Structure 1
Amino acid sequence: MFGFNPHVNFRIRLVLIGVLGSIAMSYRPPDFDPNAKLKALFIMNFTRYFEWPEAKKSGDFVIYLIGQNASLTNELKALAQKKKVGAQNIIVVNHTKMEKNQLAHMIYFTNELELQPISDAASKLRNKGVLLISEKPEACRSGSCVNFIYLENKLKFEYSYSNAVKTGLKTNDDFKTLAATVIN
């Protein structure tokens, strides 16, 4: 009555292979960022529109990522091997939290962080020549200079001119035209 039926067993195996294959193909590490390459390109291009204080124009150009985003870290490190900011080599460092006395030119806050670390950094780094970049709603209102947003499913950024000035950076006026939103 319940004998071996090769057609049924074949179908069951085929369905199982399809299900297991789709599960395996859809797996991504928890910090996978499908837009990491584009964000890295944006970040590297931001260096062309800001002028850092004289004291920060020698030594390495340091980009800190605060939080978990291995995809973005890897993309930035790959670009850093090929590019320079002026004569400065680019160094990319990833930490889970902000360290004291970070000698960074840029600090990028990943989206899993709350707004408080951004606000704290903005007050601690006033006039230190550090570009604060984030990807959190309302981050420019909390002290971030540049914040990634999505408009019509496209990666864009908003820019706070006043926050950039507070951190001691000079901005090329063309940068405002590139931003989706300018917050003063």
Structure 2
Amino acid sequence: MARKLGRIGFAVLIYSIIFQSVSLAQVTGVEKAEAMFIYNFSRLIEWPPEYRTGTFVIGILGASDLFPELVTYTTGKKVGFQDIQVKKFKTTDEIVKCHVLFISHAKSSSITEVAGKIANYSTLLISEKPGTIEIGAAINFLIVNNKLQFELKPENATRYNLKISQKLKEMAVTLY
């Protein structure tokens, strides 16, 4: 019993450290911070059973410096028992089934098209442009007081059969 409580306490401590607002001064570049957040989001969301086997795919739509940062950050890591693969899509036509899809600022005007494209997938849609959470993104990155934070709209994740943990809800700067 004490060992179980110790594990729970340790897990809470780790999640608190990982998800505290990441100061951009501490992390060189927004992309490194976004990579860290995206990986940790993937561990706080429950995917349907058919998405818990095989490779865990994180897609990036559009030109973004996030791609190499995400590849570097996730190398050797897993989501559950799944190896992680990061894919880059230049256009919406290239999008294939993935667990997480990040839409670059430059491609955010196509979010409605993207939402239609992934309608039959259980995909977490993440953006980095104000207003995109109202039109489909489940998570949107923001910079507040030089810190990377995020807003969350669980309803947009539920639409794709994803379950957002209470911990993730509590960490969002804005919850819709």
- With the length of structure 2 as denominator, give the TM-score of the two structures: 0.79
Q: Deviations over 1:106-126 (max 9, x none)?
A: 1000011243x2122223423
Mean alpha-carbon deviation: is it higher for 41-50 or for 106-115? 106-115
Task: Report what 2:73 is aligned to.
Answer: 79
1:66 to 61, 66, 75: 61
* Percentage of pairs with the same residue: 35
> In structure 1, what is the equivalent of residue 41 of structure 2?
46
Rg larger for: 1
Question: Aligned-pair distance for 1:62?
Answer: 0.5
Question: Which string of whole-angstrom CA distances, capped at 9 and with x for unpartnered residues, describes residues 128-182 of structure 1?
Answer: 2100001011010010010001112211101011101011101111111100101
Instruction: Point out where structure 1 has 5 or more consecutive residues left out of the alignment.
Output: 1-32
Q: Please show how residues 66-145 of structure 1 align to structure 2 within 5 Å.
A: 66-69=61-64, 71-99=65-93, 102-115=96-109, 117-126=110-119, 128-145=121-138
Could you say what the CA RMSD is over the residues aligned between the two structures, in angstroms? 1.6
Provide the rounded CA distance (Å) in 1 between the counterparts of 2:175 and 2:116: 21
- Aligned partners of 1:82, 1:91: CA distance in 2, in Å? 10
Equivalent in the alignment of 1:35: 30
CA-CA distance at 1:80 after TM superposition: 2.1
SS of residue paired to 2:83: strand
Give the 4+ runs in structure 1 shifted more than 6 A: none
Amino acid at match of 2:41: F
CA contact (8 A) 1:127 1:166 kept: no
Which position in structure 2 is the counterpart of 1:12? none
Query: Aligned partners of 2:121, 2:97: CA distance in 1, in Å?
Result: 9
**Higher relative contact order by CA 8 Å / sep ≥ 6: 1 or 2?**
2
TM-score, structure 1 length as denominator? 0.76
Q: Which runs of 5+ in 2 are unaligned?
A: 1-27
Letter in 1 for 2:34: K
